[in-house]
Amino acid sequence: MNPDILVSVVIPVKNGESWLRETIPAILNQQLNGNIEIITIDSGSTDETISILSGYPIKLVQIKPEEFNHGLTRNLGAQLAEGKFVVMTVQDAKPVSPRWLDELLNGFIDETVAAVCGQQIVTHDIDKNPAEWYRPISKAEIRKYQFHRKEDFLKLSPDEQLAVCRWDDVNAMYRSEIMRQLPFRETDFAEDVLWARDALLAGLSIVFNPIAQVAHYHHENFKYAFNRNFIVRYHFYKYFGVLPVNPHYIRRMLSVIKGMLNNNRIPFLQKLSWIKYNSDLLRAVRKSNAVFLESITGPGKGKLDFVYKGMMKSIPQAEGRDIQE
């Protein structure tokens, strides 16, 4: 470690030219009582990513595309980090406040806290799905979880276990020493949620601080939403035993329609477009859930891993501003 560096920010990147000119300066300009280093790990960009990154005072590591792994690549970043704390984020997540890193640090409320997770939000921009705009319904409060005995965690229901492990490497800070003792698993997805589970089973404490926010949004098409939902549900089932539950289509769409009609910022034709967009997303999730459940309960049950491997041939990853049809 370098005593002159307080926070190391690790960002896996690939074809990030659409975002990096905003993301990197927003991190470098953080108001923090300590020095920041940024470590970017590129896995085969073919756009202007490398050229853009070369214009900033950051560390750039390049790996082959086939070497990328959600867990191991982030472990590499943590190993290279010289700061007392290491932050995991992504190329298309932008800090909402110049005190983002400071708010993550504020989550280390005592010496037992191993890591702090912030919150993703969707800003009120008309090119982003209004149904996902950030609308807080309660006061943001810090939540801490710790189980001194492994048995106490395992006594929780599957849904309760998942609820306390809803970790998110789009916006999370770790003690560097803890990351060296408890690295991410070698996994092609959900390294963050699995790390939270491993941390709690090891008796460590983790904190959620929703005041530390980043803006992050993916414009999804049907296939993207279908695959992403299946892959997420696969890991929730494998590690927590949680089965997917379909969102209520009519109730959800009525809520979307009501919200659109009451939104005076959006032109009428755009409202219709967003209503269709949300309907398509709901249909994608419901169809994905049906395929998931059929793969474990229907004819030919036991093919879950086979279907999952097929989905992983096109791992959900944002490239450019939108996910196109």
- pLDDT, residue 136, reads 87
What's the alpha-carbon Rg for the chain, to the nearest Å?
A: 20
Count the Cβ atoms, other than its own, within 10 Å of residue 307. 16
| Rounded distance between C-alpha atoms, residue 243 and residue 112, angstroms | 33
Contact present, 271 and 259 (Cβ < 8 Å): no
- pLDDT, residue 321, reads 42
Closest to 126 (Cα-Cα) out of 300, 277, 270, 279 = 270
Structural domain boundaries in the chain = 5-215, 222-314
What are the DSSP calls for 109-122, one per residue?
Answer: -STTEEEEEEEEE-
Q: Any residues with CB less than 8 A from the CB of 6 and at least 6 apart, and which?
A: 32, 33, 34, 35, 36, 83, 84, 85
| Superfamily of the domain at 5-215 | Spore Coat Polysaccharide Biosynthesis Protein SpsA; Chain A (3.90.550.10)
Q: What are the mean pLDDT values of the chain's consecutive 10-residue runs (325 residues total)?
A: 91 96 96 96 96 96 95 96 97 97 96 96 95 88 94 96 96 97 93 97 97 96 93 94 92 95 94 96 96 83 83 59 37
What torsion, rounded to 10 degrees, do the Cα atoms 223, 95, 172, 89 define?
50
- pLDDT, residue 10, reads 98
| Rounded distance between C-alpha atoms, residue 94 and residue 76, angstroms | 22
Residue 35 identity (one-letter amino acid): N
| Rounded distance between C-alpha atoms, residue 50 and residue 57, angstroms | 13
DSSP 244: P
